[in-house]
A and B are shown apart, each in its own frame.
Chain A
Amino acid sequence: MAYKPQYCAGQTVVAANRRKAMDPTHKLTKLRDVTDKDIVLIMGHRAPGSAYKSAHPPLSEQQEPACPVRKMVTPTDGAKAGDRVRYIQFADSMYNAPCQPYLRSYLEAYRFRGIDPGTLSGRQIIECRERDLEKYAKDLVNTELFDPALCGIRGATVHGHSLRLDENGMMFDMLQRCVLDKKAGVVKYVKNQIGEPLDAEVKVGKPMDNKWLKANTTIYHSLVGTAYRDDAEAIEYIQRIHSLRTKYGFMPKE
């Protein structure tokens, strides 16, 4: 029988959403249209329209050693051109944000190539060649994996994941990179991801409503969403892992 990946355990909507996010055959729903130029502005690595800086000459101009692995693996566009490695970092609120740091690393590993994700409790960074990064960042911002109010693009000073939301429903940000335009109901980035002011505001769309967030979140939360204890299958799975890991410490002979 052919191997069929199961992605993650659980019977609740949260687990189902996690599986959907990780499954590369599931096409992510596009919810907003942030342009290439806007993404470049928010990330702040280069001026929009400027040439990509390179770390080494293009592969076609390099003499590569005879290596079977190099023959097997097709380089990504960024690697082919010799782009430098840049990053984008997300902070996600635990109040029903549609994506979460651990899940981001999983789904990026399943969906993208040539990446180096770094996962922390409240934020997740992804590093890769610059032109690949811009393509991936667009997917991460324009689809159901992003909510303008509860996910933040933050290179430094990321605190906010576990804090209460503010009165406008926005996640706390010490540098206030994005603000809610109450009149238009749209979230605008006024600073780039490291906190430098932008010349022009970048609109990233309307925050999603609570009903949508509850139905599309990938984090368990007993107060505002689905409690982890309500997911019997996920609990059984985690308890099995915990038990096996503990027993392994004593080197059981079976």
Chain B
Amino acid sequence: MTEATFPQCRIVTERLLNPETTEKLLNKVVSVAGVRRMVINGPRLPETVPYGPAKGQANPHPMRKTIHVGDQEVALNVHVGTVLLEVESPDVIPALKAAIEPVFTDFTFRIQEGKYMKTSPSLVDYCKYGPDADKSMLGLADPNSKSRPIILQGIK
């Protein structure tokens, strides 16, 4: 049996996105049928200062907010710069582009096609998940991460 491989793409914006714009963008992405998996990428915004003389102090940051996407609350831990997507077929990508275009009025964005998420387990995944790893989880997060993915109800 041949294994199904799904096309991947990423949305790269000219500027790092505010939480409000991220919310708008992700809601547009969710409204498109055929998006399988999504990763929000960007530089991390930790809750406490991780190192330096102020280590351990609270780190209030206006870009770290909880946003509402589809029917779920999503806590942002990064300053969003790139959104990685795995879609069901190549036809979804033009539809995705058309859907998100209205979000970017002040600056530009690009959709690039390529391979951005793991599709087969690496050695670290094998150590963490064993031989029967859930393929839908691979490449979504660092295997050491304790956070779980957020499952959004699609429109399909």
Q: Which residues of A contact B (CB under 8 A)?
A: 155-157, 159, 163-168, 172, 174-176, 179, 194-197
Q: Is the CB of A166 within 8 A of B43?
A: no
Q: Is the CB of A155 within 8 A of B49?
A: no
Q: Which of B52-60, B114-122, B142-150 contacts A (4 or more CB under 8 A)?
A: B52-60
- Residues of A near B21 (CB, < 8 A) are 167
Type the 1/0 row for B47-70, where 1 means its CB is closer than 8 Å to any CB of A. Answer: 001111110010111110000000
- Residues of B near A168 (CB, < 8 A) are 18
A179 to B51, CA, bound (A): 21
Q: Is the CB of A196 within 8 A of B57?
A: yes
- Residues of B near A163 (CB, < 8 A) are 16, 43, 81
A159 to B81, CA, bound (A): 15
17 A–B pairs (Cβ distance < 8 Å), ordered by A: A157-B52, A163-B16, A164-B13, A164-B14, A164-B15, A164-B81, A167-B16, A167-B21, A167-B106, A167-B107, A172-B43, A175-B54, A175-B59, A175-B61, A195-B49, A195-B52, A195-B57
Complex partner residue of B49 from A157, A172, A179, CB under 8 angstroms: A157
- Residues of B near A175 (CB, < 8 A) are 49, 54, 59, 61
A179 to B62, CA, bound (A): 9
In the complex, whether B28 has a CB less than 8 A from a CB of chain A is no
Tell whether A165 pairs with B16 under 8 Å between CB atoms, given A157-B50, A157-B52, A195-B49. Answer: yes
Tell whether A194 pairs with B107 under 8 Å between CB atoms, given A164-B16, A174-B43, A179-B62. Answer: no
* Beta-carbon nearest neighbor of B17 in chain A: A167
Complex partner residue of B18 from A166, A172, A195, A196, CB under 8 angstroms: A166
**A167-B16, A172-B16, A175-B49 known; 12 other A-B pairs, CB under 8 Å?**
A156-B52, A163-B43, A163-B81, A164-B16, A164-B81, A166-B15, A166-B18, A166-B63, A172-B79, A175-B54, A195-B54, A196-B53
Q: Is the CB of B54 within 8 A of A196?
A: yes
In the complex, whether B44 has a CB less than 8 A from a CB of chain A is yes
User: For the side of the interface on B, what is the size category?
Assistant: 20 to 34
A-B Cβ contacts below 8 A, count: 66
Q: Which residues of B contact A (CB under 8 A)?
A: 13-18, 21, 43-46, 49-54, 57, 59-63, 79, 81, 106-107
Tell whether A156 pairs with B54 under 8 Å between CB atoms, given A163-B43, A167-B107, A175-B49. Answer: yes
Complex partner residue of B51 from A156, A164, A172, A196, CB under 8 angstroms: A156
Nearest 4 interchain pairs by C-beta: A156-B52, A195-B54, A166-B16, A176-B61
Complex partner residue of A194 from B53, B60, B62, B106, CB under 8 angstroms: B53
A197 to B15, CA, bound (A): 27
Q: Is the CB of A155 within 8 A of B53?
A: yes
* Beta-carbon nearest neighbor of A154 in chain B: B52
- Residues of A near B61 (CB, < 8 A) are 174-176
A196 to B134, CA, bound (A): 43
A157 to B119, CA, bound (A): 34
* Beta-carbon nearest neighbor of A170 in chain B: B16
- Residues of B near A195 (CB, < 8 A) are 49, 52, 54, 57, 59
- Residues of B near A159 (CB, < 8 A) are 43
- Residues of A near B15 (CB, < 8 A) are 164-167
Q: Is the CB of B50 within 8 A of A167?
A: no
- Residues of A near B17 (CB, < 8 A) are 166-167
Of listed B14, B54, B63, B106, residue having the most chain A CB within 10 A: B54
A175 to B109, CA, bound (A): 26
Complex partner residue of A174 from B45, B53, B81, B106, CB under 8 angstroms: B45
A163 to B52, CA, bound (A): 21
- Residues of A near B43 (CB, < 8 A) are 159, 163, 172, 174
A196 to B59, CA, bound (A): 9
